[in-house]
Amino acid sequence: MRHSLVLSALLVAVLQAGTAGAGPAPAPPNAQVYFIWPYDGQVISGGKFWVRMGLRNMGVAPKGTNVPHTGHHHVLINTGLPSMTEPIPNDRNHLHFGAGETEARIELPPGTHTLQLLLGDKDHVPHNPPIVSKKITITVR
Ligand SMILES: [Cu+2]
């Protein structure tokens, strides 16, 4: 009895470990999301600028689109990575581009800001493995 309890606890732990780092939608191992613009370290004059988002070896599709190896862009601003197993939050630090946009006009106040791209599936959940860009730092003046 005690053994089967321990075993089922272990099994649950193993099952959870298997899904802890990623959502349900598979992504090809060579998929890559990246900033075309701006560059890491870029200084931007004026608060408004275009963010151009690149995606390799996957397709961009609007939210709700149930097609394998597709997703939509999210720009994370001045924040770390959210949960990889839940829908990405939707607030001023987590911008969703659920229409399948690949460029966006963003306005930020003067100062230093970090930007990072995270692809989400039809339900805004990161893929398995998560498709995340390098975190870049820009300065607005
Ligand atoms: Cu989303």
Four-way CATH pick for 2-140: 2.50.20.10, 2.30.30.240, 2.60.40.10, 3.90.180.10: 2.60.40.10
**Residue-level pLDDT at 93:** 98
pLDDT band at 7 (very low <50, low <70, confident <90, very high): very low
Is omega for the bond preceding 129 within 30 degrees of 0, making it cis? yes
Residue 3 alpha carbon to ligand 1 centre in Å: 43
**Residue-level pLDDT at 8:** 47
Q: Can you spell out the DSSP letters for 72-107? A: B-EEEESS----SSSPPP-BTTEEE-TT--SEEEEE
Q: Which residues pair with 117 in a beta bridge?
A: 75
Q: pTM for the complete prediction?
A: 0.85
Residue 16 alpha carbon to ligand 1 centre in Å: 24
Residue 64 alpha carbon to ligand 1 centre in Å: 9
